[in-house]
Structure 1
């Protein structure tokens, strides 16, 4: 193996024909012999290029609807032979195997078929066999063979040939081999993950997650941490599929918080305007309103201090009036399904604000697998897509909740799913008025949320705390009555919680003593 090795013969077999003709012409102009298969050969030949069919090299025609065409010693021998190994060279000469110095292959569009919802039989037909086999063979022999699997690397290949007088360097071949193995790895991950779902295997023996680099980030959660953003190829609306209209690149924390904000606001659908403001992955204000401007202002009034430098998610189109309101404070990111030209013009003056539009909301009920790394492994679970309706609620107190309390209880419950546990959320008239998140004690979360509401009342010049006449949601059961008592002292009149504690009756008794209405949801929403 030497550093520089010439490219004299190339095998091209691509599903994605983007850039194929230009590549073929560029290689031919450099004196490279072209081998190809099926549609790739036809496209190159129609462009006036001299192309030799792989079938002519192997002596076997393509057969079985194209399933068998490159699985042959004259192909794999040409890819795998060590050019500096005398016995390999002798075998090539004996069996008339010509060396293949460049392999250009991209695979059957399995991921695209998956994205459009193809049925089982079509998915099976989109599993590539010959392509991955050739890629792995060529990449293994990167001491001599250059492997290109992505259209975006065509220009780099040609630049490498020009820089080295028709040769490629070992470092370049190594880089292309790594990209090639990552591609086949991601492809196999997509196939195995799809098949596990198709046959109802929730916990397959082996599980692989794959993604494609979308952005190298300046750093991670902190400046001393390296980071990158990868897309999984799904069409789910969100930060990964959004169009960024302005502002500098998103950071690691921006992406994490924007995802949290958009997933939360999606809980409210598109029937009425809703806004969620996120800070450090927790909501500091969520509200509905008659207009988007009203929804934003009501969310902002939950915790104006924390909203500074936050992430704002809207469930409907961002309009100019709302943009004007948002522009009054510093905001990191605004994400919405769409934005009017007027809104974009307003934000144009805010160079550091990132505006993202997605075209749609993510479906909060969709089945998604989430994973988290731990030492020596990773945890996998289904996304928390649990939701409840009025029919799911069980009233456990003597007093029945009013219609308004029921509406607010369901609103609070949607928010609770997106607040770090232990989570306590006060809601009044379709808007959060206090959020307590991530405390080790549930009663502490209750106190913190109430105190924030009291602080905001003072800022707004109100005579009584915003929690007076509110409802409360707790993401898990109250282990003792102290949390409920604290909420009652803050002015709450109704409570929603999962129930299921050994001390449920103690908590129910405390609610009855204070004239509170309480419902059990039967569903927990821990978020760690």
Structure 2
């Protein structure tokens, strides 16, 4: 592009809450002959850096009023931004009213999200709702044929490069305008969400979602699909907060599976390991330490664990890292890893290690979403948990204390397995997992068969399900599902109950002499 096709910047309005890079930008603008207009803290910072700056109130001849609520909402500012330089009538009106053109607007908005996150009260949050800033941003973005709009310090280097080349290009101004509208849309979305929360509305009449693109991904679930990863500012520990210490770039499926694994491992208070393959746990265990938990989780299904995702709820240590690194693993995610563990994993250059800085609260409220044609479904996160006092023993035999611990463990695992789900567990570890089948009987049988395979791999003579407990994510509609569980060797069962044939299922349990408890809560996961 020739210099004749570029627009110079003769006058720039800089008013930012994030002062990162402001001085360098101001220096570049002054070097290229631009007049600087500014307000408040931005003007003070520029002036202290020795740069010539004109306060907006001096430029407009109108003082800041109402505690600074009105300072840029005046014709001298908005006329300078919105006036079209290619229309003689606009130029004439600007001259008649002494409105000077503004060629660059650099604005980022009051820190509303940070104010809310700090726990500030209602009045402080409302005062941090920016009015003049979004108005200037939207005005400049609308008039992008003549005005450049910057809303992110990450854009400053591109602006400086444009100045060095003779001015801004139309393509750059359009790109910045698109980013500006996304910026104000996200800002308004945060405010609308906060107001709805304050009013106690989980599902307001209008719900907007916003996110910042973290990265473009190589492809989606399949190579012919495009994909990207967006973050929404939620500080819940997980893949959005994680620091990738090593390894190749994460794929769409890696991110999806890692999220599933880390949310599952957060269910447990004791040291825990979850191995996930294709978004389903294939091994889960709790123990006194991570190394023991890993061994028990791997024992459940060592075949599926190959190429899986491993999540831990404690700081990863070197001994556990050595054990995990012994098999091909795509991703390890943990709240932290000590230096020795990181050194062990560094030998596996392609293995991705993610450190999240914490473990999410499995019981915390929140929303989850699923797209459908023409819209999306929204629901509260499945934060449900049952405890022993909430269980109802429905059989003649009650579970033993050890069985009760395993029943509660298995039901928490079932919450993270695709429906229909049947889980076998023993001594704080899964020993068989059946997932995603159309029939609950099939899930029970698949889990039992995989347990037999695991027993053979471990050199054990009987299926791991012998003497285990079983969990079902929803009720058994017929006794045949329970009978499959009994045939696999389970001695106690946990299920929601609520079927019209509950009594038939209870009778089958009593005939077999097993214990069964109802939770009154199901965990469908589709």
1:519 aligned to 2:517?
yes
Question: Map of 1:57-456 to 2, 5 A cutoff?
Answer: 57-163=59-165, 165=166, 167-269=167-269, 272-456=270-454
Q: Is the partner of 2:498 in helix, strand or coil?
A: coil
The separation in 2 between residues aligned to 1:160 and 1:459, in whole angstroms, is 64
Alpha carbons 2:410, 2:471 under 8 Å: kept: yes
Aligned to 1:30: 32
Q: CA deviation at 1:486?
A: 0.3
Deviates more, 1:410-419 or 1:201-210: 201-210
Q: CA deviation at 1:116?
A: 2.4
The separation in 1 between residues aligned to 2:124 and 2:182, in whole angstroms, is 24
Residue deviations 1:70-112 (CA, integer Å, cap 9, x gap): 0011100000001011111111011100000000000001111
Q: CA deviation at 1:291?
A: 1.7
1:510 aligned to 2:508?
yes
Alpha carbons 1:147, 1:177 under 8 Å: kept: yes
The separation in 2 between residues aligned to 1:205 and 1:82, in whole angstroms, is 38
Aligned to 2:473: 475
Q: Is the partner of 1:188 in helix, strand or coil?
A: helix
Q: CA deviation at 1:140?
A: 0.2
Alpha carbons 2:81, 2:143 under 8 Å: kept: yes
Q: Is the partner of 1:301 in helix, strand or coil?
A: helix
The separation in 1 between residues aligned to 2:476 and 2:120, in whole angstroms, is 46
Q: Is the partner of 2:460 in helix, strand or coil?
A: coil
Q: CA deviation at 1:525?
A: 0.3
Q: CA deviation at 1:13?
A: 0.4
Aligned to 2:45: 43
The separation in 2 between residues aligned to 1:307 and 1:66, in whole angstroms, is 60
Alpha carbons 1:474, 1:497 under 8 Å: kept: yes
Residue deviations 1:408-430 (CA, integer Å, cap 9, x gap): 00000110110000010000010
The separation in 1 between residues aligned to 2:499 and 2:146, in whole angstroms, is 67
Residue deviations 1:152-191 (CA, integer Å, cap 9, x gap): 000011111212x1x2111010000000000001101111
Q: Is the partner of 2:230 in helix, strand or coil?
A: strand
Q: How many residue pairs get matched?
A: 523
Deviates more, 1:471-480 or 1:49-58: 49-58
Q: CA deviation at 1:114?
A: 2.3
Alpha carbons 1:104, 1:148 under 8 Å: kept: yes
Residue deviations 1:454-504 (CA, integer Å, cap 9, x gap): 111111121111001101110000000111000000000011111111111
Q: Is the partner of 1:267 in helix, strand or coil?
A: coil
The separation in 2 between residues aligned to 1:199 and 1:30, in whole angstroms, is 50
Q: CA deviation at 1:117?
A: 2.5
Alpha carbons 2:241, 2:357 under 8 Å: kept: no
Q: Deviation above 4 Å: which 4+ runs of structure 1? A: none
Q: Is the partner of 1:477 in helix, strand or coil?
A: coil
Deviates more, 1:118-127 or 1:500-509: 118-127
Q: CA deviation at 1:257?
A: 0.5
Residue deviations 1:315-346 (CA, integer Å, cap 9, x gap): 11111110111111100000111111111111
The separation in 1 between residues aligned to 2:306 and 2:68, in whole angstroms, is 59
Q: CA deviation at 1:226?
A: 0.8
Q: TM-score, normalised by structure 1?
A: 0.98
In the alignment, structure 2 segments of 5+ residues that lack a partner are none
In the alignment, structure 1 segments of 5+ residues that lack a partner are none
Q: Is the partner of 1:286 in helix, strand or coil?
A: strand
Alpha carbons 2:444, 2:481 under 8 Å: kept: yes
The separation in 1 between residues aligned to 2:116 and 2:213, in whole angstroms, is 20
Aligned to 2:482: 484
Alpha carbons 2:365, 2:380 under 8 Å: kept: yes
Q: CA deviation at 1:3?
A: 4.7
